[in-house]
Amino acid sequence: MTAEQTYETPDCLILPDRRAAEAALAERIAAQVCAKPHSVLGLATGNSMIGVYHALVGMHRNDGLSFAKATSFNLDEYCGLLAGHPSSFASFMREHFFAHVDMPRDSVHLPREDACAEYEAAIAEKGIDLQILGIGRNGHIGFNEPGATLTSRTRVVDLAPETLAANQRDFPAGETMPSHAVTMGIATILSARKILLLATGEAKAKALADALEGPIKPRNPASFLRLHPKVGIVCDSEAAGLLSSTRTHADA
């Protein structure tokens, strides 16, 4: 990372490429866990996160980064998939992270459609120190699709047509993906002490610009993040492509 390639404002770090953005997010998660081994982490899935988990697993193997005292709460899960379905977020987390680090099984929490209130209660009891988010092309965070309200909590939601179109690729050929999911709500996410959102690739540029510079409205659920005092955005130059010139040329 060099001074010419990056700039940082209180809320936005733009890196030259996807790999650098993933590494920067992984470094921030590692710093959180090093500073507070008992950290409670809110975790996300999705393609954007694969490189982040890969980097964290590398730090666990090579640098002694330990998750032994940490706790995690995942953001969301599809409804109606059988246990062990390869496209479930539980499988994603196992494959990319949990199977390779030392976080105790009992410290891992995944939302279930039949236990939303219990999930909220467990989060409220522990408090999330650092919530990690990706962003959907329509501005969704977790599976809070456009229209989600500021007061929403963990619940079952309908997936938006754009999300169905984007995520069908994660399911085996010939299998139709679920139309519903369980997700932490906007209020659940905003209850975290700190939040970091990762956006990479051109396909996220419009959603990111609307979230950071458009109105704070349910139409772009990520815009609600601007109501939180400790939010950081980590993105690559492609995802930052539609941010205002003041922001994008701040390093010039």
Binding stretches for ligand F6R (CB under 6 A): 44-48, 75-76, 89, 134-136, 140-142
How far is it, in rounded angstroms, from Cα 165 to Cα 150? 25
Minimal distance, residue 231 CB to ligand F6R, in Å: 15
Looking at beta carbons only, is 45 or 188 nearer to ligand F6R?
A: 45
CA gap 126, 146 in Å, rounded: 28
Cβ atoms of 237 and 14 within 8 Å: the answer is: yes
Least CB distance to ligand F6R at residue 247 (A): 22
Q: Which residue's beta carbon is nearest to the bound ligand F6R?
A: 134
* Residue (14 or 199) nearer to ligand F6R, CB: 199
**12 or 157: CB nearest ligand F6R:** 157
**Smallest separation, CB 203 to ligand F6R (Å):** 7
In the bound complex, what is the minimum distance in angstroms from residue 58's beta carbon to ligand F6R?
A: 20
Query: Does the active-site annotation cover 180?
Result: no
Strand-pair category, 71-74 with 40-43: parallel
Catalytic residue of the set 22, 76, 77, 129:
76
Q: Which of 98, 117, 95, 115 is nearest to 107 (CA)?
A: 98
Cβ-Cβ contacts under 8 Å for 238 (sequence gap 6 or more): 18, 200, 201, 202, 204, 205
Evaluate the CA torsion angle 197, 203, 205, 206 in order and state its sign. negative
Given 77, 109, 138, 210, the catalytic residue: 138
Active site residue 106: no
Q: Quick check: is 76 catalytic?
A: yes
Q: Which residues, 6+ apart, have CB-to-CB distance to 249 below 8 Å?
A: none
Please list the residues that pair with 236 across neighbouring strands: 15
The nearer residue to ligand F6R, 107 or 144, going by C-beta atoms, is 144
Whether 140 is catalytic is yes
Could you give the residue numbers annotated as active site?
76, 138, 140, 145
